[in-house]
Structure formats: C-alpha cells, structure tokens
Structure 1
Amino acid sequence: MLYHLLSELSEQYQMFNLFNYITFRVGGAVMTSMLIAFIFGPKLIDVLRSKQGKGQPIRLDGPEGHIIAKAGTPTMGGLLILVSLVVSTLLWGDLTNPFLWVVMLVTVGFGAIGYADDYLKVSTQNPQGLNSKIKLILEFLIAAAAVYVCVQSTPAADGYHTGLAFPFLKDFTLNLGIFFIPFGCIVIVGASNAVNLTDGLDGLAIVPVMIAAASFSAIAYLVGNSVYSSYLGIPYVPGTAEIVIVLGALLGAGLGFLWYNAPPAMVFMGDTGSLALGGALGSAAVAVKHEIVLAIIGGLFVLEAVSVIVQVASFKLTGKRVFRMAPIHHHFEKKGWAEPTIVIRFWIIAVILALIGLSTLKLR
C-alpha cells in the first residue's frame, strides 16, 4: 500500500525513490511487523487467557516435570504473528506481484486451519483437535492452488516452470511436468507439518523458522535478480524477489512473538502459528525453485518429522520404540536434558544447517 502510494511520487520527490528498492522496503516490513507484535502482544495474550481458561490441553503421555507447570498457558499466539505479517506485507509489498500473494495466502490459509484445530482443542479440552484427514485435505487443496499459480507465473521456457533444481549442479533442472504440482504440494504440506511437530518447547520452533526465513529471503532476492542468478548459476524467476517482503515481515513478527514466547512462555503459538509458518517456508521454497535446499536449511524440521515417522513405523512393525518419546526433542527431555539446553542446542543446529544450505548457492 505504501509502495503503491509513495513510489509514484519518486518522480517529483527524490526521497520517495527509496520505496522502489526492495532492500529499503524489507527493512520497513521487519520493523513494522515487529512493532505491531510488541505493541499488541500483551493485549492479545490477556484476551486469549481470559477466553481460554485452562489454556492448551497438556498431553497426559507427555514429558514429566516442567510440562505440568505450563498448564494454563494460552495458545493461538500465532494470531499475533499472522496479524503482524499480513499488515506489514500489505503496507510494504507490491500487491500486483503473484508470488507475494502465493506465500501470504498459503500462510493465512494454513493459519486458519491451525486456528480451527486450536479452537477445538481448547473448547473441548482434547489434545486431538481437528480430524487429521480433514486437515491434510484442506492443506493439500491450498497448496495445490499455490503451486499452480507459481507454475503459471514462472517462465515456461524448456519446461522450466515445472523443473526441479538441484544444489551443487549448475544450470540443470529436472522437468517433472505435471508431477511438479503434487511434488510442490508435498513440499508445502510437509514443511508445514514438520514445523508443527517441532513446536513443543518454549522458543524451539520460532527461532529456526526465523533463521530459515532469513536464509530464504537471501535466496529469493538472488533468484529474482537476473544478474546475481546468472553469476551464481541458480534459477532465475522474475518477480520472486518480492517474497523477501513477506519473509521479512515474518522475521519481524517472529522476533516480536519470541519476546513473549521466551522461557517461561507467556503464550504458545499453537497450530495457528506453526502450520502457517511452515506453509510460508514451503511455498517460498517452491516459488524460488529451491525445494531441495529447504530440506537442508530446514533440516531440523526434517529431523523432527523423521523421528516421528521412525517411531511410529518401528512400534507398528516390531512393537518397540526407537526413541523414548517422539518428536525427538521430547526424547532428550526424557533423558533429563533441561529445556533451555535442548532449545539452544537445536538453535545452533539450525544455524549450521542454514549456512550449509546457503553455501549451495556458490558451490555449483
């Protein structure tokens, strides 16, 4: 909105030319979303606490000890992230850009599914929430629409719009054809649910999400610039640089939310936040043609999801559990690790994986 109003004044007033630069606007998006989260966070937490009563229901089979002390903590804090992200993006983004809308609408759509899930959990005091099959169907429908728009908005030369790029390989893409749409859906839905599984300790999910968002901001900026993408030998997709605005708003909103989610958490993001944030990362990766790199940068989320898959498969096939509890962060809780120890060490892993993922941009 500000972009459309003020960039047109750049011909008369040179100072408004700043709004034509993505780097300036992403700074504005970060600060705006962060301030919104800081200012409205306490009020939202008070409202959630008064409406929810007992707060998020605690799993009876969960880790003993400190988890009991968290009973009564309100959930749905992801609303703070979503409101901050949407308002900031609308203010600073180019609203004619299809990739911006893809990432933002996937984020909001998945957030709405998460909200319904959280609402059922709180209102019935049942950890099960929304039926898992219904959740997946809705997620795949939203993801399919998003991938379709990405395909239509990407240059179709040599089947590039349905191509899969590989890290460490220069100027090579595997054309998946019609199968790119289901592949893209799996990436988006998988990323969303992987972040959801990671969200189990105070601050555990939000910081790795911010690290991944910052990494993909850099990737989106480079992919959307013909000079940089040609120099690095990475896919060039015109228009994807605008995704940086959404991811910048996510980063700022995440910082604001972390202020209230830092141990001991005043609020949980809930599925409202975790499904939305994972969807944002997944849709951004599909748009910039770096789906495999997402598995590297978001390797922590992959590890959490794989630990659940391995645990379930092992128990069904052999009747034995590989981990003391899944997702894997609960395994370390069961081993006696303190919550801050687990969280900070997982943050360190997320930083290392992000650096490895970003290195693929040059090592080709």
Structure 2
Amino acid sequence: MFYFLGELSGQISALNVFKYITFRTGGAIMTALLFVFLFGPKIISSLRLRQGKGQPIREDGPQSHLLTKKGTPTMGGLMILSGMIVATLLWADLTSPYVWIVLGVTVGFGLIGFYDDYLKVTKSSHKGFGGKARLGLEFAIAGLAAYAVTLLDSGPFSTSIAFPFLKDLVLNLGILFIPFAAFVVVGAGNAVNLTDGLDGLAIVPVMIASASFAMIAYLSGNAVFAEYLQIHHVAGTGELAVLCGAVIGAGLGFLWFNAPPAAIFMGDTGSLALGGMIGAIAVATKHEIVLAIIGGLFVLEAVSVIVQVISFKLTGKRVFKMAPIHHHFEHLGWTESQVVIRFWIIAVVLALIGLATLKLR
C-alpha cells in the first residue's frame, strides 16, 4: 500500500523514499513488531481461555517440561503470521507475483499447522494431523508454488538450480525442478517444525535465516549487485526482502512473550508456516542449496529424527538419547538456556557461511 505513495514523488519529492526496498523493509520490521506488541497480550489471553490445559506435553520427553511447560497455550504462530501479513500488505509492492506466491505458501502451511495444533489441543494429545494427509497437502501447496515460480521466467534458468562457490555450474532439472522445489519447501517447513521444542529455540534461527534471505533476495533482485557478485539475477525477487523484514519484526515481538518461561508456544501454526516461507524464498531466489547451509541448524534437527527412526527400526537401538537433537543435549545435562543459546550461536555461524557464498565464487 505505502509503495504506491512513491508514484506521487513527482508532486512531492519526499515520497520517493517509498520506492526504496530498504526503507520499506525497515518499515515492515517496525510495523510487525508494534502489531505483535499491541495485540500479543490479547491473543495470548484469548488462546489461554479457549485452550484450557494448553499444549499437550510429551510424557516421554524431559521430565522437567511436565512441570515448567504444562498449561502454556500454543498457536502463538497466529501472532507472528498476523503481524507479518499486515506489515507485508502495508509495505510491499503488491503487484509483485513473488510476494503473493510466498504469502500463499506461508498461509497455506499456517492453516495446516493450525489444524494440527487444534487437534492436539482438543484431543489433549501430542499427536495431531495424520502424517500422510498432512504431507500430501504440503506437497500440493509447495508444488503449485514451484510451478508458479517457473512461469515467471520462460528461460531455462527457471527450472535450474545454482551451486554455491561455483558461479558457472548450473543444473537444469527441467520438469523435475517442480518436485525438487516442492521437496525443499516441505522439508524446510517440517525441519523448522521439529526445531520448535524449547522456549525461543526456533524463532531466533528463523529470524537469522529471514535476515540472510532478505539480503539474498535484495541482491538477487538487483541486476547491478547480482552482476557484481556473479550470482544469478532473478528480477522481482528483491521485494521479498520486505516480507523477510516483516518476519523479523513479528519474530522479535513474539520472542518478547516466548522468552523463558514462555507465555505462549509458537506451535505448528507458526513453525510450519515460517519454515515453508523460508523454503519458498530460497526457491524463488535460486538459492535452494544455500538454504541447507543457512538453515543448517534446522537440517541437523531433521536429520537427527530421521537417523533415530531408521536406527531404531533396523537395529532396535537409538543413536540419540532423544530426538530431535536438542532434547538429546538436555538429557546430557545441558540446561534449556544452554541448549537454546548455543544453538543460536550455531545458527549465526551457519548464516555467515551461507552469506559468504555470495562472494566466494
């Protein structure tokens, strides 16, 4: 909405600032932050009243969680998504198809997560939406988004993947790009979902990844910067930086209430939506492999679960004391704050490595 004020810069020169992506990204951060600060307490009170016992806590998890986290409401992702959507609609260029594609994935995954949270709360069980049906819906949404992205560029690069550190290596997958991109989006969504197990553990790495992809989207969408850095230019993706800024602002507001001891949990409503959003941006900007580096913490969490399940089914033995891996470290004696802060540090280091690929080519 505010973007169109830039069209009046011919009459009022000061309005030209609304054309700048950097300015509107800053505006989106502040808008989303203030939205969550203003409406967060009311949302928490409403969810606490409606949910009663709050999010069910796994009985096979760390015993301390049964004491410290019992009764805490979930679906806090509603706070984040509301702030993000409002800020994006106010500050982004709504003529950009990339904005609508990523918003579509975010809202679609958010609805799936909301239904999953709803089932958990109403049934008082940590088991929610059936796995096959849930994955089927996720792949349908992600597949449609991937197909839409390929339509925005008629050239061969629309179905290609680029490799970090190697500027000339591009692999054209053709029609196979759509299932590959869908896998990236679904994988990112579920990886973030698995990471969301401790107070503040998921939201800060999500903000770090969002900040990283805000920079990647801005640089990839700018022909001059893309040529200088020798990365592939994807026209129009710069506008996704505004959306990433909205996530950062909403995430900061949510962290205020999610800081230990958490007044609310993100739930699948938020974690699945935010993970899918990051995956969709990675696909749009042609940085799918870089996502595995920047989001390496999420990958680690997902791999730990996969390894644990395969090992137990094949040998009857567990590799970790408990999966996802953050619970393993809790069982080793790390306090919750130690796990969270150390994982934050890992997320920062991985993000820096991922951003380094923009120049090291």
TM-score above 0.5: yes
Q: Deviations over 1:69-111 (max 9, x none)?
A: 2100000000000100001000001111011111111111100
Aligned amino acid, residue 148 of structure 2: V
Secondary structure of 2:198's match? coil
Could you say which residue in structure 2 is the equivalent of 1:147?
Answer: 146
Q: Displacement, 1:67?
A: 3.9
In structure 2, the partner of 1:93 is 92
Decide which of 210, 216, 221 is 1:219's aligned counterpart. 216
Moved more, 59-68 or 295-304: 59-68
Q: Name structure 1 gaps, 5 residues minimum.
A: none
What is the TM-score when the length of structure 1 is the normalising length? 0.98
Q: How many aligned residue pairs are there?
A: 361
Amino acid aligned to 2:73 = P
The CA distance in 2 between the partners of 1:91 and 1:66, in whole Å, is 39
The answer on 1:165 being equivalent to 2:162 is yes
Letter in 2 for 1:250: V
Q: Which amino acid aligns with 2:170?
A: T
Whether 1:268 aligns to 2:251 is no
After the TM superposition, which residues 191-270 of structure 1 pair with which residues of structure 2 at under 5 Å, given as runs?
191-270=188-267
The TM-score normalised by the length of structure 2 is 0.99
Q: Quote the offset at 1:171 in angstroms.
A: 3.1
Match of 2:344 in 1: 347
1:302 shift after superposition: 0.2
What letter matches 1:32 in structure 2?
T
Distance 1:304 1:320, change over 3 A: same
Aligned to 1:304: 301
**Structure 2 match to 1:61:** 60
Q: Does 1:120 align with 2:119?
A: yes
| 1:3 alignment partner AA | Y
Q: Tell me the secondary structure at the aligned position of residue 171 of structure 2.
A: strand
CA shift digits 1:26-79 (9 cap, x unpaired): 010000000001111101000000000000011111111244321000000000
Once residues 67 and 167 of structure 1 are traced to their aligned partners in structure 2, the CA distance between those partners, rounded to angstroms, is 43
Give the Cα–Cα distance (whole angstroms) in 1 for the partners of residues 236 and 27 of structure 2.
Answer: 19
Contact 2:117 2:128 in 1 (8 A): yes
Are 1:35 and 2:34 an aligned pair? yes
Distance apart, 1:274 and its partner CA: 0.2
Q: Is the 2:57–2:65 Cα contact (8 Å) retained in structure 1? A: no
Determine the C-alpha separation between the residues in 1 that align with 2:231 and 2:150.
Answer: 17
Give the whole-Å Cα distance in 2 for the aligned partners of 1:333 and 1:18. 49
- Secondary structure of 2:166's counterpart equals coil
CA contact (8 A) 1:58 1:68 kept: no
Alpha-carbon deviations, 1:120-160, whole Å to 9, x = none? 10011111111111110110011011111111113x33x11
Report the equivalent of 2:334. 337
> In the alignment, does 2:84 pair up with 1:106?
no
Structure 2 unpaired stretches of 5+? none
**1:191 Cα deviation from its structure 2 partner:** 0.2
CA contact (8 A) 1:148 1:181 kept: yes
CA–CA distance in structure 2, aligned partners of residues 193 and 135 of structure 1 = 11
CA separation in 1, counterparts of 2:84 and 2:44?
A: 17
Deviation of residue 258 (structure 1)? 0.3
The answer on 1:292 being equivalent to 2:289 is yes
Provide the C-alpha distance between the structure 1 equivalents of 2:340 and 2:328, rounded to a whole number of angstroms.
13
RMSD: 0.7
Q: Whole-Å Cα distance in 2 between the matches of residues 256 and 279 of structure 1?
A: 20
Partner of 1:326: 323
- 1:92 is matched by which residue type in structure 2? W
Between the aligned partners of 2:162 and 2:230, the Cα distance in structure 1 is 11
User: Structure 1: how far apart are the matches of 2:343 and 2:64?
Assistant: 21
Q: Which residue pairs with 2:275 in the alignment?
A: 278
Quote the Cα distance in structure 1 between the aligned partners of 2:290 and 2:277.
Answer: 15
